[in-house]
């Protein structure tokens, strides 16, 4: 799935490039705007490689961004238990590729219709268009929720149910500003604080309770 992010921008890049070509000789000043828009779009859809830290029981951030929520929620759709939630807000300047927090199998992937509130609004977690993923590995099961925002209105899933992913491996992206939540077992030790900036696939977010073998 490496370098797949730019493929999600084909029609956007084509439209902006066409506008630039149409204006470069006729409206030079306007063509500068389209040239900048083209460069920003390429920048937005960047997909850098990331190296997860050592430790199989370390859950990494599923997305780049700012930690805005650390709390407990009743998750009654998939795992049907109380979980610890870490919410990450992604601005338009962050990398928007999402990565598996733990090595394991994709047990579930389900979209949910809804609204397009600002992703910084706490209600966006419940009311916005989203897609929930359940990953299960030797450290247990976690839920990742991709949530759209006022500008980000398309979730691009790349993995499918049954796929086995490595920790930090790409499984999808959200286009333009959004929110990603990681829901962990209550006995997981949270390693980040509110206001921390994290890098998807790289920053340790939690230490999972090691299950006896």
Catalytic residues, which ones?
Answer: 178
Segments of 148-201 assigned E as strands: 154-157, 164-165, 170-175, 178-184, 189-190, 197-198
Query: Could you identify the residue written with the tokens 């929930």?
Result: 132
| Total residue length of the chain | 213
What 3 state SS string does 7-76 have? HHHHHHHHHHHHHHHHHCCCCHHHHHHHHHHHHHHHHHCCCCCCCCCCCCCEEECCCCEEEEEEEEEEEC
| Residue 132 φ then ψ, to 5° | -105, 140
């Amino acid at each position: 799935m490496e370098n797949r992010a730019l493929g999600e921008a084909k029609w956007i890049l084509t439209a902006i490039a066409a506008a630039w070509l149409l204006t470069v000789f006729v409206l030079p000043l306007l063509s500068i705007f389209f040239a900048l828009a083209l460069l920003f779009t390429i920048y937005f859809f960047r997909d850098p490689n990331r190296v997860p830290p050592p430790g199989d029981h370390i859950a990494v951030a599923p997305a780049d961004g700012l930690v805005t929520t650390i709390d407990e929620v009743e998750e009654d759709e998939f795992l049907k238990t109380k979980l610890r939630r870490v919410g990450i807000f992604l601005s338009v300047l962050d990398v928007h590729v999402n990565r598996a927090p733990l090595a394991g199998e994709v047990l579930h992937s389900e979209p949910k219709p809804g609204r397009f509130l600002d992703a910084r609004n706490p209600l966006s977690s419940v009311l916005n268009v989203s897609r929930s993923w359940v990953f299960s590995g030797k450290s247990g099961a976690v839920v990742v929720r991709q949530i759209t925002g006022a500008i980000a209105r398309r979730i691009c899933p790349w993995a499918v149910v049954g796929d086995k992913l490595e920790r930090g491996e790409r499984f999808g992206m959200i286009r333009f500003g959004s929110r990603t939540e990681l829901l962990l077992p209550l006995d997981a030790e949270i390693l980040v604080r509110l206001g921390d900036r994290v890098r998807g696939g790289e920053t340790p977010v939690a230490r999972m309770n090691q299950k006896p073998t």
